């Protein structure tokens, strides 16, 4: 049996971590992929297919393909249920310790064979962080009624309902049209909560969800409350034009959801830009379009690795001339751990990191010459006010 020789450690087995692991391993460089959970895929493995009579290009199906490719790759060692405990040394000569997380008894093959059993110490030339982000928990915002009123759900919940093919739970078939409101920017673009950044993906997710819902239940009446729709692309322009006739779009950020006039209905209070009065709207369902927030493990990982976080809690890049690189030389960032990104954006970053690694692995001096990102790959999104 060939002993696995690791030159690069990738932390996080979501779409970004899997993409970088595979791209680097395809260059003949040994990779160890360290995932704290008990399976690969990250959050993107939970999202539903948004196809109507055509593909909605949501990219959710790319994840399963990536899992199969990574699982079968002879150059990638996967360690599940694993936590990075320390990282000594310097770029080109790291020594990384990985500890097991508590085990799950219900783990099935193939995942079981990758579960880390005991502490491992691994030499590595470079470390790639791909630890992602978490969906915002809307129960933090008490005025939106999530967890209190049955008809208030998040886009994450609705994605789950569609994935389980259980739409009747959200919208039972009925002769009376169900009125559904989508509230954008929940957990994002909010100065008071310290999350002024735009989460990038959630306008597109809402447009796809509205399209899919109306494909499955043409009688639905949908309304989208938005600040400004972040859907700039030819593909999305066409989507929007198509929906424009079927769904209602209202500018404003509703700050409160209350019980409506009749039992089971919900009232949404909205202030349109420039208006001095609140307007009330009645709905049967309210869907909160949740954004992304930094993963809970970022702080401890930053301490263990000696890395800086930015003002929002994402891993910081040392400056504009070093995109996708962390504040410690030899440590790289891919996907949503450096700021919100969608699946394709995470993949693009992962490919760019793999290209940088192919250029620099084996070089003598990581400190003087920082790796350069190839043109057109796109770094992390700006996380200041958008």
Ligand X SMILES: Cc1cc2nc3c(=O)[nH]c(=O)nc-3n(C[C@H](O)[C@H](O)[C@H](O)COP(=O)(O)OP(=O)(O)OC[C@H]3O[C@@H](n4cnc5c(N)ncnc54)[C@H](O)[C@@H]3O)c2cc1C
Return residues touching ligand SF4 (CB under 6 A).
49-51, 55-61, 184-185, 188-189, 198-200, 202-203, 227, 230, 289, 291
Name the token pair of 5. 């020789």
Whether the CB-CB separation of 225 and 270 falls below 8 Å is answered with yes
| CA 12/CA 35 separation, integer angstroms | 5
Parallel/antiparallel/unpaired status of strands 266-270 and 256-259 = antiparallel
Least gap, CB of 275 to ligand X (angstroms) = 30
> Where does this chain touch ligand X (CB under 6 A) — which range of 13-21, 244-252, 258-266, 308-316?
13-21
CA 14 to chain centre: 9
13 binds, among ligand X, ligand SF4, none (CB under 5 to 8 A by kind): ligand X
| CA 281/CA 260 separation, integer angstroms | 9
Query: Which of 156, 285, 360, 380 touches ligand X (CB under 6 A)?
Result: 156
Least gap, CB of 386 to ligand SF4 (angstroms) = 7
| CA 200/CA 340 separation, integer angstroms | 6
Least gap, CB of 255 to ligand SF4 (angstroms) = 14
Name the token pair of 341. 């990104």
The count of C-alpha atoms lying within 13 angstroms of the C-alpha of 23, restricted to the half-sphere facing its C-beta, is 22
Task: Output phi, psi for 19, to 5 deg.
Answer: -65, -45
Contact between 35 and ligand X by CB under 6 A: the answer reads: yes
133 binds, among ligand X, ligand SF4, none (CB under 5 to 8 A by kind): ligand X
Residue 208's nearest CA partner among 186, 229, 179 is 229
Least gap, CB of 202 to ligand X (angstroms) = 7
How many C-beta neighbours within 10 Å does residue 64 have? 13
61 binds, among ligand SF4, ligand X, none (CB under 5 to 8 A by kind): ligand SF4
Contact between 155 and ligand X by CB under 6 A: the answer reads: yes
Contacts to ligand X from residues 112-151, by CB under 6 A: 130-133, 135
User: Is the preceding peptide bond at 272 cis, omega within 30 degrees of 0?
Assistant: no
Contact between 37 and ligand X by CB under 6 A: the answer reads: yes
Binding site for ligand X (CB under 6 A): 11-17, 34-37, 42-44, 47, 58-60, 83-84, 130-133, 135, 155-156, 159, 201, 205, 290, 292, 295, 297, 301, 335-336, 341-344, 346
């Amino acid at each position: 049996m060939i002993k696995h020789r690791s030159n690069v450690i990738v932390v996080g087995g979501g779409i970004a971590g899997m993409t970088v692991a595979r791209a680097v391993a395809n260059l003949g460089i040994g990779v160890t992929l360290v995932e704290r959970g008990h399976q690969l895929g990250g959050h993107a493995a939970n999202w539903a297919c948004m196809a109507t009579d055509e593909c909605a290009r949501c990219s959710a199906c790319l994840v399963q393909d990536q899992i199969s490719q990574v699982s079968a790759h002879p150059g990638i060692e996967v360690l599940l249920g694993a936590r990075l405990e320390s990282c000594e040394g310097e770029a080109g000569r790291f020594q990384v310790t990985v500890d097991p997380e508590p085990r799950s008894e219900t783990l099935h093959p193939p995942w079981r064979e990758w579960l880390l059993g005991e502490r491992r110490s691994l030499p590595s030339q470079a470390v790639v962080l791909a630890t992602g982000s978490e969906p915002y928990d809307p129960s933090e915002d008490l005025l939106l009624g999530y967890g209190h009123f049955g008809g208030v759900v998040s886009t994450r919940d609705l994605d789950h309902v569609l994935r389980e093919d259980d739409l009747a739970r959200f919208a039972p078939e009925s002769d009376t049209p169900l009125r559904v409101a989508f509230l954008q920017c929940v957990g994002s673009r909010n100065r008071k909560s310290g999350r002024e950044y735009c989460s990038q993906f959630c306008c597109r997710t809402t447009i796809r969800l509205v399209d899919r819902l109306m494909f499955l239940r043409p009688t639905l009446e949908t309304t989208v409350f938005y600040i400004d729709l972040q859907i700039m692309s030819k593909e999305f322009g066409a989507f929007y034009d198509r929906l424009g006739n079927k769904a209602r779009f209202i500018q404003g950020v509703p700050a409160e959801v209350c019980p409506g006039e009749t039992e089971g209905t919900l009232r949404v209070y909205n202030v349109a830009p420039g208006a001095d009065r609140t307007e009330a709207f009645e709905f049967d369902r309210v869907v909160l379009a949740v954004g992304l927030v930094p993963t809970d493990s970022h702080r401890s990982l930053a301490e263990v690795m000696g890395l800086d976080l930015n003002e929002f809690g994402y891993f910081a890049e040392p400056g504009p001339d070093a995109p996708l690189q962390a504040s410690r030389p030899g440590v790289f960032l891919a996907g949503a751990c450096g700021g919100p990104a969608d699946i394709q954006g995470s993949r693009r970053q992962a490919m760019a990191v793999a290209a940088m690694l192919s250029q620099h692995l084996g070089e003598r001096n990581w400190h003087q010459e920082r790796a350069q990102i190839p043109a057109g790959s796109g770094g992390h999104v700006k996380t200041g006010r958008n």
